[in-house]
């Protein structure tokens, strides 16, 4: 049995091979990658303008903005069925809320609402032992409040273990795609 290929088969292989030629790569770069780059620069313009490399909060600002885009896309254009998709969106929105709170909330003020105002005389060395102990309680409570929300944020990003689908809560950043 003799097997032969028609000329059109070899021509189609040649067309497939042309896809990686320099002029096609250039076309894809100009047509798709550059506009996408410009769109992203525009979308992240405030975060990029304010970015500084010396503090983690600037990185969290970029992360928060990208999560907002992901949540909006999944909510409005996601093709996954609603039950699991909306679980993801809810967890992403909660992560965004925690990132915002990390920037905006004064944890000392939150602790003062619970324990009373700090007793400040201007110089901590002049505080009485009672004032010092009270201030220390407020500072410790503020650290506990911040740590609680920080751990919740990373628990959402890391994800929780589950054995059956009904236990899945939408967390784990590796599954936030559509």
**Angle, helices 82-104/56-77, rounded to nearest 10 degrees:** 150
* Residues 94/71, Cβ–Cβ less than 8 Å: no
pLDDT in tens, 22-46: 888 999 999 999 999 999 999 999 9
Chain-wide mean pLDDT for the chain? Answer: 88
pLDDT value at residue 30? 96
pLDDT over 80 (residue 16): no
The answer to which of 4-18, 30-44, 52-66, 111-125 has the lowest mean pLDDT is 4-18
pTM of the model: 0.80
C-alpha span between 164 and 41 (Å, rounded):
41
**Closest to 166 (Cα-Cα) out of 93, 80, 90, 87:** 87
Pinpoint the alpha helices (H) of 19-171: 22-28, 34-43, 45-50, 56-77, 82-104, 107-115, 129-158
d(CA 19, CA 33): 16
- Percent over 90 (pLDDT), the chain: 52
Contact status, residue 74 vs residue 84, Cβ threshold 8 Å: no
Mean local confidence (pLDDT), 90-104: 95
Every domain of the chain and the residues it spans: 1-43, 55-175
Both structure tokens of 63: 């992360």
Confidence of residue 146 (pLDDT cuts 50, 70, 90): very high
59-84 CB burial, b ≥16 within 10 A, e <16: ebbebbbebeebbeebeeebeeeeee
pLDDT for the residue 64 = 97
Mean pLDDT, range 36-60, rounded to an integer: 95
* pLDDT at residue 46, rounded to an integer: 95
pLDDT (mean) for 150-158: 95
């Amino acid at each position: 049995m003799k097997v032969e290929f028609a000329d059109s088969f070899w021509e189609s292989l040649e067309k497939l091979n042309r896809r990686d030629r320099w002029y096609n790569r250039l076309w894809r770069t100009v047509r798709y990658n550059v506009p996408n780059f410009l769109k992203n620069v525009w979308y992240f313009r405030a975060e990029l303008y304010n970015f500084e490399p010396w503090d983690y909060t600037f990185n969290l600002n970029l992360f928060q903005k990208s999560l907002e885009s992901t949540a909006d896309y999944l909510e409005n254009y996601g093709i996954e069925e609603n039950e699991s998709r909306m679980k993801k969106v809810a967890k992403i929105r909660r992560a965004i809320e925690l990132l915002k709170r990390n920037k905006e909330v004064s944890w000392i003020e939150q602790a003062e609402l619970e324990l009373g105002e700090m007793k400040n005389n201007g110089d901590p060395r002049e505080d009485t032992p009672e004032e010092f102990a009270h201030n220390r309680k407020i500072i410790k409570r503020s650290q506990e409040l911040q740590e609680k929300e920080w751990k919740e944020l990373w628990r959402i990003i890391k994800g929780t273990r589950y054995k059956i689908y009904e236990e899945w809560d939408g967390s784990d950043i590796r599954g936030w795609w559509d």
